[in-house]
Structure 1
């Protein structure tokens, strides 16, 4: 037991198979999410690791008795058993009875992923499904495996309805989702669509309404599924929530009157701490900066009605709500850091907030803004607090590096899972004008203009169209409300060539039930590949026409 009680951390067991000899080798090392660079720790970390395992052919997830030991004197060893069929997977740490992570060679991971994505995934019990997901998320974060493997593993969740694997997944997704918020808008949109696709089965099974017969785990499961679905913008979830919590949902879109209503509710529930705690989390969801500043300011007043033990909930409710909340918290810190320091009688309270914000930054601009703030108040902080603040900002640097390294891979995988157009906006009619140019010196191009009248089935700030081999003239792109005659502002467009999608992002949401005209001008090419609008030849005698 000394290896588990007298040294820090825990191990990751690496399982490597020789597929020709059918033998298995295991090795151990200390698991670290962020290995120290130029670290001074020279301790030789090794553990007595109880090895339990089963294979695809054996499928014995009941026997948790230790089959072999990897001792504290062994960095690695070849196991005498089992001898595994090449097409079989092997899974270690049955029922997760050992306190260690497990990494496999790429082929074994692929075999496990294939089994999870098959109709036989229930043959692996929920605890080990959760273990596999928890391990692969953390192994990817630590750099042992690629995020493509993570996404291949989680694809099976489209059919998962057990709480335990989903609980492990949400822990892993939480980190990835926060980082992906800093990706290009269309990439994050594709990521959200992918996660909503995974959630759909569990959401449909659980429903949005609780039942008297629901057990505690079912209630927890529904709460987490609904929280994720609503935060990612699922239409059914948001609509249901609007009906029951109209004030909250309007508040999320910036209603000052609704914020005041909820604040009065908070004061009314002064004797019900659980309701107050819930409302404190909701009050930070505002999209209005002045309202957010006012809320954070209330946490610095003894007369506000916020209990001392609940003060720590206020700032996180703002900067965890959405990307705007991070900017609101930074701007408040810049304006009122002396108030924060004075209220808490310590400049360290400012450093603590810098540290918290560093973990949720999603863009280089936010990081630069926060860094400049720290530099501007360097003298007020003092040497030790300044050094601590700079150390906290390293978290932001690591997160932004993660974004640069992994976001494109994750976004591309997510895009590949959705080849169908979203259903929030559907076309009613097309008015098309095409002018072809057949002259040789025209390079066989054509000019085109189309007006697509669309009906909005769900509120959305995006219109996604199919486009193939067309050059869109973006300066002529307009979206007009038919009923009001007003043009909406387009803030971004993305051409997703592999999937032939053209994504239009708007400054404001299209109204459910509204009718809009999408006007697009473009240039196309009369190719000779016999697809779409193409050119071809025929002969009249010896003449080619």
Structure 2
């Protein structure tokens, strides 16, 4: 009976209002134009507090084939039951890009659930800017009474990964379509009219109509699937269990031709992992299936709350650009995010799968069970899931040392962004975040990586029992509801107060509000001669001015864990901008090191004498210093030099000890920081002596891995050693260690002789492909191109840009815009070519010449355009390049795109800074460090591969949509 009730409106809808395109503008109804824009409720982005939703009945029918107009569409109907809280004559409900069926000239039907009939509808219209369906009434709704609003609608099943979208892939030569959803943060309104704010929680009853040969999945377990006839075609209709009370952005449904792995053995929770049938058959989903159960048990214990649903579905979807999304009970991922095959996937792929799985699973409680009140506190959801993803993965993969890897990745990801005057606080005032554009801008490295690091710092200075008990109390009070950061601080403080002997120098909220309500972070300076300590806001450009004031005058309460000569000392708290701590005075050869294990979110500077003693210690016995702090010293030194707080030669001298270093964390940090020098100098005569110095540093590492892998015939046993093997080969080939070039070219030619048997280990494929193509010629490039046509490989997409041959790079750029080569994405390919010094100018010219084509391809405000501008201009450091940037920015075809114009403005600022910085670095005085002075050269240095092998870096702080 329920299916028939839900199906009837769709049968009616399929016969009416089906011509033409989708409605995107407000149109008059009843011959009445929408009211003139004013400061009315429908002109504000936030919903009024007069109505609260209780539950929805939603039926949707996605079409997996084009209609007579050449479009992929979906049709549907929705009934929302809501309670009137305050007297009002207005129903505002979010709607975006939906075309509505009209009844008696109106877009909706309003009726009573209890009490008398509601007032008649006066007029309805679509308010496009603020994305509302506006229903104006002839009288007022009665507080305390419930009403229901029925609508029928049609939308486009677009390929933009928003709302209800289509995902495409080929099975042989056949194009296959998947209908899937991604609602976060404000795209549920593109699927059906709804109160689309996180605090407007409700229960959802979902029914999905889908084609034969497909399955339907949603948040709840399937209740029933029946055969029905629609427009003369036989289809299926699947209904699902009602959801728990939850926010609109967590709703999900998928219609696809997929298979799954399944277990019913875990505490009555059914765990399923879905993917294309061939991936299930070959075992690519096995690892995700294997770790989900243990992670679920771990989080249930940690949160002290059983997973509240009957099933936990996860599905891998094409394309690779689809971000993971924590929909409650149906988590969606890209195939590249969670599928892992031992014979062709790298250990990085395995780690990425585990950490992403853990990140999304952590959200089932922190985000889904208890949800933020408004998007201005997004960091609380995402930062916590980032931190928990590493804790969770560390339990299921204890040998990986995930927490240190999280710190490395997060620091490299966020510390630079958060040291710019344009940064923002973790928690932004609500009034600053209202439009969808403002909300989407919050999904950045600050929210994810800084949020994770700040919560890691909090958990580090709180006793473990306090952190877990406070969190459990928080979840218990706000289950199925909404809360904010102040609620979390309150419960943590309560747990602290109940713990005998546990105390802090200030209340939890006093400490933590300084880290979340002001942007940036401090640099703590310690003078070991006097014991003086000070802090100040760290800015990469010391002359810049933050674009916002701080409620705490940029002063933090800083926990300082430190050691003296390798011996940990009692933790010290820096409560003010300056202080004195007698214990931090040193004598003779003593050295001190602050921020042990990088537990605090700050940088550290020292007096010159302590810096010198630290460098001596690194050169004599670096293992006395914890490995993560060896990485910290390198990163702090380079960034303090960029901020003109220490001499750049001191930063460069911190790399001298690397000839003795074999661990991944310091090498990855060094390579990331040295990459700036490659970018600035690989087109100058400074590059040759720089290559010579780095060759001396990396050759011992290269020989070390040759030895422990039995002359490259085995993989290192350690997880991070496998990463560092990639660094050793990548950097050695990059600085022209001849044995490295022979090694990679030999592996590649062996593959060329037997194309069906690739001898290159998956971990090494990108770096071997790239450097072999770089060292080879046209034959190697054409073989790589043929392999790309036969096997979709992101490694090869990147590696083909490594050639030194300009004509091959020009051909590759042209291919990127040819629709026949569907495996290539133009913006990605152009960006890859630009990272190659031989392709930099070619990519820049190609982008300018084909700008209009790119705009037509992606849309004028597409993020891809901003990103390709960033990549192509990253190396710019001359007056001529700055002039070209200004000319391009003034082009009318560019000025019509606000995001592109902004990206070019940022590029111009970065280029100006590079111009100013470049000569100063080249002329810096030396002190037994790497040579930087230009030397007369008989020939220009060989062109090198694109930048650092970023493919080797772990992903533990996730910069994704979720």
Bucket of the pairwise TM-score, normalised by the shorter protein? 0.5 to 0.7
What is the aligned partner in structure 2 of residue 227 from structure 1?
730
Q: Is the 8 A contact 1:254 1:288 kept in 2?
A: no
Change (3 A) 1:99 1:391: closer
Quick one: distance in 2 between partners of 1:313 and 1:176?
23
2:929 matches 1:389: no
Q: Which runs of 5+ in 1 are unaligned?
A: 271-275, 419-493, 497-501, 510-545
The answer to whether residue 781 in structure 2 is matched with residue 277 in structure 1 is no
Deviation at 1:224, TM superposition (A): 1.1
Q: Does residue 637 of structure 2 align to residue 133 of structure 1? A: no
Residue of structure 2 in register with 1:252 after alignment: 774
Alignment equivalent of 2:561, drawn from 43, 48, 52: 52
Describe the shift of the 1:415–1:155 C-alpha distance in structure 2 as closer, same or farther (beyond 3 A). Answer: closer
CA-CA distance at 1:294 after TM superposition: 2.8
Written as runs of structure 1 = structure 2, the 5 A alignment for 1:171-190 is 171-182=672-683, 184-185=684-685, 187-190=686-689
Aligned counterpart, 2:822? 305
* 1:238 counterpart (731, 741, 751): 741
Give the equivalent residue in structure 1 for 2:272. none
Name the counterpart of 2:574. Answer: 70
> Do the aligned partners of residues 77 and 295 (structure 1) sit closer, same or farther apart at CA in structure 2, a change above 3 Å counting?
same
- 1:252 Cα shift? 2.4
Structure 1 residue matching 2:536: 3-state secondary structure: strand
Point out the structure with the larger helix share: 1
SS in 2 for 1:409: coil
Q: 1:507 to 1:405 in 2, by over 3 A?
A: closer
Any idea what SS the aligned residue of 1:306 has?
coil
Cα-to-partner distance string for 1:62-83 (whole Å, 9 max, x where unaligned): x6x52x2111xx1111114244
Distance 1:211 1:410 in 2: 44
Measure, in 1, the Cα distance between the counterparts of 2:866 and 2:653: 40
Provide the C-alpha distance between the structure 2 equivalents of 1:148 and 1:356, rounded to a whole number of angstroms.
Answer: 28
Quote the residue 1:34 is aligned against: 541
1:79-103 per-position Cα deviation (integer Å, ceiling 9, x unaligned) = 1424421431111112222221100
Structure 2 residue matching 1:284: 3-state secondary structure: helix
2:803 alignment partner in structure 1: 286
1:5 Cα offset (Å): 2.5
State how far apart, in whole Å, the 2-side matches of 1:410 and 1:314 are. Answer: 39
List per-residue Cα deviations over 1:122-153 (Å, max 9, x = no partner).
Answer: 22221221111111111112221111101222
Residue 787 (structure 2) aligned to one of 265, 270, 283: 265
Q: Deviations over 1:143-178 (max 9, x none)?
A: 211111012221111111122221221221122222
Residues 630 and 666 of structure 2 are in contact (CA less than 8 Å); yes or no, is this contact kept in structure 1?
Answer: yes
2:695–2:737 CA contact under 8 A, matched in 1: yes
Deviation at 1:281, TM superposition (A): 0.7
Alignment of 1:191 with 2:690, yes or no, is yes
Displacement of 1:268 in angstroms is: 0.5
Q: Residue 84 and residue 414 in structure 1: after superposition, are their counterparts in 2 closer, same or farther (change >3 A)?
A: closer
- With structure 1 as the length reference, what TM-score do the two structures score? 0.68
Cα distance 1:340–1:82, how it changes in 2: closer, same or farther (>3 A)? Answer: closer
Q: Is the 8 A contact 2:773 2:803 kept in 1?
A: yes
1:8-54 deviations in Å (ceiling 9; x for gaps): 22211011233xxxx30111112222346354433211111112222
Question: 1:419-454 deviations in whole A, cap 9, x for unaligned?
Answer: xxxxxxxxxxxxxxxxxxxxxxxxxxxxxxxxxxxx
Q: Say if 2:604 is the partner of 1:102.
A: yes
* 1:429-448 alignment runs, 5 A limit: none
How far did residue 290 of structure 1 move?
3.6
Identify the residue that residue 331 of structure 1 maps to in structure 2.
Answer: 845
Kindly indicate whether residue 520 of structure 2 is the aligned counterpart of residue 5 of structure 1.
no
Measure, in 1, the Cα distance between the counterparts of 2:585 and 2:866.
Answer: 56
Secondary structure at 1:54 match in 2? strand
589, 605, 625: which is aligned to 1:124? 625
After superposition, the Cα gap between the structure-2 partners of 1:391 and 1:312, relative to the gap in structure 1 and judged at 3 Å, is closer
Q: Go from structure 1 to structure 2 and tell me whether the alpha carbon gap of 1:363 and 1:305 turns closer, same or farther (over 3 Å shift).
A: same
Query: Alpha-carbon deviation of 1:266?
Result: 0.3
Deviations, residues 296-349 of structure 1 (Å, cap 9, x unaligned): 233334431316xx554312221112x221111012123222221221132665
Alpha-carbon distance in structure 2 between the residues aligned to 1:412 and 1:292: 41
Q: Distance in 1 between matches of 2:853 and 2:889?
A: 16
Question: 1:320 is matched with which residue?
Answer: 835
Are the counterparts in 2 of residues 130 and 168 from structure 1 also a CA contact under 8 Å?
yes
Matched, 1:505 2:939: yes
1:240–1:13 Cα change, 3 Å: same
Structure 1 residues 414 and 108 mapped into 2: Cα distance closer, same or farther (>3 Å)? closer
1:160 equivalent in structure 2: 661
Whole-angstrom distance in 2 between the partners of 1:410 and 1:336: 44
Shift in Å at residue 251 of structure 1?
3.9
SS across alignment from 2:839: helix
Secondary structure at the aligned position of 1:46 is classed as: coil
Q: Residue 52 of structure 1 contacts residue 93 of structure 1 at CA under 8 Å; is this kept in 2? A: yes
Give yes or no for contact 1:49–1:98 (8 Å, CA) kept in 2.
yes
Give the number of aligned pairs.
405
Corresponding position of 1:540: none
Shifted more, 398-407 versus 323-332: the winner is 398-407
Counterpart CA distance in 1 for 2:819 and 2:703 is: 45
3-state DSSP class of the match of 1:196?
helix
Of 682, 701, 706, which aligns to 1:202? Answer: 701
8 Å CA contact retained: 1:330, 1:370: no
Q: Which residue of 2 aligns with 1:423?
A: none
Q: Give the counterpart of 1:341 among 841, 847, 855.
A: 855
Cα 1:311–1:410, aligned 2, differ >3 Å: closer, same or farther? farther
